[in-house]
Structure 1
Amino acid sequence: MSRTQVHDIGGRRAWGIWLAAMAVYVLAVFHRSSLGVAGLLASERFGINATQLAFFTVLQLVVYAGMQVPVGVLLDRFGSRALLLAGLVLMTAGQLVFAFSTSFGVGVLARAVLGAGDAMVFVSVIRLVAAWFLVRQAPMVTQVTGWGGQLGSIVAAAPLTLLLEHLGWTGTFGAASSVGVVLLVVVALVVKDSPYRTDEVVRVKLRALARSVRTVWGNPGTRLGMWTHFVAQFSGTVFALLWGFPFLVRGQGWSEVAAGTLMMVMIAWVVLSGLVLGAAVARWPFYRSWIVLGIVAAMALAWAAVLLRSEPSPTWLLVVTAFATASGGPASMIGFDLARTFTPAQALGRANGIVNVGGFVASLLTMAAIGVVLDLSEPGGMGAYDLGDFRLAMATQYVFWVLGAVQVVRYRRRAVAHLRRVHPGAVEQMRAGRPWVHPGLADDGI
């Protein structure tokens, strides 16, 4: 198929499209993170215990994770613009219903719809990065995409606490849903799928795309990316979305304002660590997995120092632990950079969808496990939890760190062997610090 380039790659138009898509991602992260500081209020509004509170977020992430592969297929078929628009419609509807809901069942349904819309956003933005930016730009832009989206978490921390105090539940979440209407117009006017006049995305048959998912899954590089996302992302997601705020307030004795402020300040560390990791990945592409495992080890050690204490931890130690946990977000983005190495552009939506499943499956399992352990440890509910209950519950993270680390090491070996066999010279090129670009579809039969 002949394709004519009509826009510069990596130029001003690329950045404009990226900014419009990023605004949608920031909104998606805000919606996703809103229960992080509203959890205690939600437990009172709906009259629910810790397990039910966790179910709100767990169901949202189940829907999110379960839709990633179908969304990846649709993304390669219809492009980023269509999926961003569909995601905005679903998120706006879900958050509006959540704003007015007073029963647990309606609230759960609203969060499920919100999760369905959220599922379409991030992988769409990552595909736009691959299409509109140069190979040397992509690792850093991918990192910036990851931590830039966390602006939504900033708004969902201390500012959301203040809004809830002044506007109440319905006013706050109703106002949040209205932002989606504005962004629908922005995306429709600004976003374009490709810098080429004719884009292969719209010509590929949906049935053929669906069949190829098995081939993409069979590539060990895709699984390496998925397990990288799995092991690095979940701790920060669990902390920000649900259990970090109650842990600091109920377990460590912090005020709600102090806890919300720490969660907001964590984003500054995400920005800094993301910039450092983006440069490191571009400089040492062959050692990306080891960089991730080093960050995971730092998280595990920091949490051990907190959880082994029978009394509240000093402020400095909790800040160090929060920053180490926040570093997992940028580290998890390396999973998408790995997918880009092993997957041609035409199949990148499917590969990114599979990668994105990893971290969110780990997150929802950890959230659910923490809620169950808390209820088993203290049946009295949220107001009765103490530090001992949280020490036991938060220790469930180690199960998923160990599992993820073992799988990263396992699939790294398979992925390197795959490159040596199918693409001779690729490993040596990355060892030398030079990025390697997948040559196309035919090589791996995707």
Structure 2
Amino acid sequence: MSEQKRFPPAALAWSVWGLGALLYLIGFYQRVAPAVITDRLMTDFALGAAALGNLSAFYFYSYVAMQIPTGIIADRWGPRRLLTAGAGIAALGTFLFAFAPTIFWANAGRLLIGASVAVAFVSMLKLATRWFRPNQFALASGIALFCGVCGGVVAGVPLRLLVEAFGWRAVMMVTAAVTAALCVAIWLFVRDDPSERGYQSHAPAPAAGAHHHASVWHGLMQVLSYRNSWILVIVPIGVAGSVLTFAGLWGVPYLKQVHGLETKTAAAITSTLLIAWALGGPILGSLSERMGRRKPLYVITTVIALIGWGIVIYLPLPLWALVCVLIVSGFACGNLIIGFAFAKESVPSRLMGTASGVCNMGPLMGGMFLQPGVGWILDRNWLGNSVGGARVYDAAAYQAGFSLIFAAIVLSLVLILLARETHCRQMP
């Protein structure tokens, strides 16, 4: 039998991986959905910016907390059971959010959603190491981001139109039903390894003498003992966090209140930012593979992101120029895909799942810290204006709030300069 026939056919590999990608798409949709319903949430639950930022960030609190255990469990138990459980619990959390009578229950629903969909990305990376060739890992990671951003685009103009027609609670109930159906599909069709379907696996052979049953704490400490691991978890806080904070919550009200746009137009602009971010992921990931190096491209694109966000935050721009700069900045922020491959290569192969979980905490910590942080600064600079029960903030307040994003990207740039190059090769 030829080498090509021993490995799983591409259609099967992408189909198995794609069901995990659908849960990630739903998770990303849930991540940024609050951006287009800020006015409804502020009115229904009587929230200010800090409380709204906290409601949105409850997703990130549990998501980040789940990353390390998710990576470890993916190493030990396999992604199929994780993805199935994640989709089922996400459906329950979405139902809770849809029916929430008070902010307490809304927060609880968001917390449950974040914890459950947290399994998606790390499980997808684990599936990718077994179902795809090693040189396809960065591409798969980039396409994963693209799938997620598709969910973010759905949570833009389409979600706003549905909310205006049926109400946000009804739309969330339908979302819960779709997620429950995905739970069933994952259990029926996803398999952890091609060997379960009679094909040869792409998983790297374990190193001789590797201790597969070492303690969880020992494995985590091993990952964190490598300098790149903690650097690559902090860097995305600023770079990816900027996109999650702007497109995921504060961009739509900023564009409405400072630039006078309608909600649907503002949502279209933030969706464009997400699309540029999605395109940047696979393109920059593949380019780093061709270069045979991770660090130079990571540094260059972080500099571009810093300049771009600095222009958006501190310079008065006409709307067309603002959109152009956001597109360039979003594309550059797709460099987090380089970081995922970078982190995976910086540890031995047996620790890849744990390393992926640790690294994936970075982007989500960006949303966790920056969304409520910006909201807190907005409330500190609020002049007392409200429309329909929702607070309105001026340009100076948003500039002060978004300065937190700029400072975080500065930190990202300083740290990435300290990382060690892997030359796109897995550590033995």
Q: TM-score, normalised by structure 2?
A: 0.90
Query: Which of these residues, 379, 383, 386, is aligned with residue 394 of structure 2?
Result: 386
Does residue 397 of structure 1 match 2:396? no
Query: Which of these residues, 229, 233, 237, is aligned with residue 236 of structure 2?
Result: 229
Query: Which of these residues, 293, 306, 310, is aligned with residue 304 of structure 1?
Result: 310
Q: Which amino acid aligns with 1:326?
A: G
Q: CA offset at residue 20 of structure 1?
A: 1.3
Does residue 438 of structure 1 match 2:427? yes
**Separation in structure 2 between the aligned mates of residue 293 and residue 386 of structure 1, nearest angstrom:** 34
**Separation in structure 2 between the aligned mates of residue 390 and residue 229 of structure 1, nearest angstrom:** 22
1:42-100: CA deviations, max 9, x gaps?
11111111110000122221111112111111111111111111111221111111111
Name stretches of at least 5 consecutive residues in structure 2 with no aligned partner: none
Q: CA offset at residue 308 of structure 1?
A: 2.6
For residue 356 of structure 2, what is the aligned residue in structure 1?
Answer: 352
Aligned length: 412
Superposed, which structure 2 residues align to 1:398-413 within 5 Å?
Answer: 398-410=406-418, 412=419
Q: Which amino acid aligns with 1:407?
A: L
For residue 163 of structure 1, what is the aligned residue in structure 2?
Answer: 162
Q: Which amino acid aligns with 1:366?
A: L
SS of 1:196's equivalent in the other structure is helix
For residue 50 of structure 1, what is the aligned residue in structure 2?
Answer: 49
Superposed, which structure 2 residues align to 1:195-274 within 5 Å?
Answer: 195-197=194-196, 208-274=215-281
Matched-pair identity in %: 24
Does residue 71 of structure 1 match 2:53? no
**Separation in structure 2 between the aligned mates of residue 42 and residue 408 of structure 1, nearest angstrom:** 37
Does residue 100 of structure 1 match 2:99? yes
Q: Which amino acid aligns with 1:165?
A: E
For residue 23 of structure 2, what is the aligned residue in structure 1?
Answer: 24
Q: CA offset at residue 29 of structure 1?
A: 0.8
**Separation in structure 2 between the aligned mates of residue 294 and residue 316 of structure 1, nearest angstrom:** 25
For residue 377 of structure 2, what is the aligned residue in structure 1?
Answer: 373
Does residue 290 of structure 1 match 2:279? no
CA contact (8 A) 1:336 1:355 kept: yes
> Cα 1:121–1:328, aligned 2, differ >3 Å: closer, same or farther?
farther
> Cα 1:7–1:210, aligned 2, differ >3 Å: closer, same or farther?
farther
Q: CA offset at residue 204 of structure 1?
A: 7.8
**Separation in structure 2 between the aligned mates of residue 78 and residue 210 of structure 1, nearest angstrom:** 17
Q: CA offset at residue 9 of structure 1?
A: 4.7
Which stretch of structure 1 is more off in the superposition, 261-270 or 114-123? Answer: 261-270
For residue 318 of structure 1, what is the aligned residue in structure 2?
Answer: 322
For residue 36 of structure 1, what is the aligned residue in structure 2?
Answer: 35
1:160-201: CA deviations, max 9, x gaps?
000001111221110011111111121111111112359999
Q: CA offset at residue 289 of structure 1?
A: 2.4
**Separation in structure 2 between the aligned mates of residue 224 and residue 284 of structure 1, nearest angstrom:** 22
> Cα 1:268–1:69, aligned 2, differ >3 Å: closer, same or farther?
closer
1:390-443: CA deviations, max 9, x gaps?
111111112211222212112x1xx34xxxxxxxxxx6xx3xxxx42333xxxx
1:104-145: CA deviations, max 9, x gaps?
111111111111112111111111111211122222121111
> Cα 1:146–1:6, aligned 2, differ >3 Å: closer, same or farther?
same
Q: CA offset at residue 7 of structure 1?
A: 6.2
CA contact (8 A) 2:21 2:120 kept: no
Superposed, which structure 2 residues align to 1:121-160 within 5 Å?
Answer: 121-160=120-159
Q: Which amino acid aligns with 1:368?
A: P
**Separation in structure 2 between the aligned mates of residue 166 and residue 129 of structure 1, nearest angstrom:** 39
Which stretch of structure 1 is more off in the superposition, 85-94 or 326-335? Answer: 326-335
Q: Which amino acid aligns with 2:312?
A: V
Q: TM-score, normalised by structure 1?
A: 0.86
**Separation in structure 1 between the aligned mates of residue 9 and residue 220 of structure 2, nearest angstrom:** 29
For residue 333 of structure 1, what is the aligned residue in structure 2?
Answer: 337
> Cα 1:325–1:391, aligned 2, differ >3 Å: closer, same or farther?
same
CA contact (8 A) 2:302 2:333 kept: no
Q: Which amino acid aligns with 1:257?
A: K
**Separation in structure 2 between the aligned mates of residue 67 and residue 7 of structure 1, nearest angstrom:** 35
SS of 2:134's equivalent in the other structure is coil
**Separation in structure 2 between the aligned mates of residue 304 and residue 407 of structure 1, nearest angstrom:** 19
Q: Which amino acid aligns with 1:408?
A: I
**Separation in structure 2 between the aligned mates of residue 372 and residue 7 of structure 1, nearest angstrom:** 56
> Cα 1:43–1:206, aligned 2, differ >3 Å: closer, same or farther?
farther
Q: Which amino acid aligns with 1:339?
A: A
Q: Which amino acid aligns with 1:400?
A: A
Q: Which amino acid aligns with 2:230?
A: R
Q: CA offset at residue 295 of structure 1?
A: 2.1
Which stretch of structure 1 is more off in the superposition, 255-264 or 219-228? Answer: 219-228
Q: Which amino acid aligns with 1:237?
A: L
Name stretches of at least 5 consecutive residues in structure 1 with no aligned partner: 417-426, 440-446
SS of 1:67's equivalent in the other structure is helix
**Separation in structure 1 between the aligned mates of residue 32 and residue 363 of structure 2, nearest angstrom:** 15
For residue 443 of structure 1, what is the aligned residue in structure 2?
Answer: none
**Separation in structure 2 between the aligned mates of residue 61 and residue 36 of structure 1, nearest angstrom:** 15
> Cα 1:268–1:376, aligned 2, differ >3 Å: closer, same or farther?
closer
> Cα 1:320–1:6, aligned 2, differ >3 Å: closer, same or farther?
same
Does residue 279 of structure 1 match 2:286? yes
**Separation in structure 2 between the aligned mates of residue 100 and residue 13 of structure 1, nearest angstrom:** 38
CA contact (8 A) 1:302 1:320 kept: no
> Cα 1:10–1:356, aligned 2, differ >3 Å: closer, same or farther?
farther
RMSD: 2.4
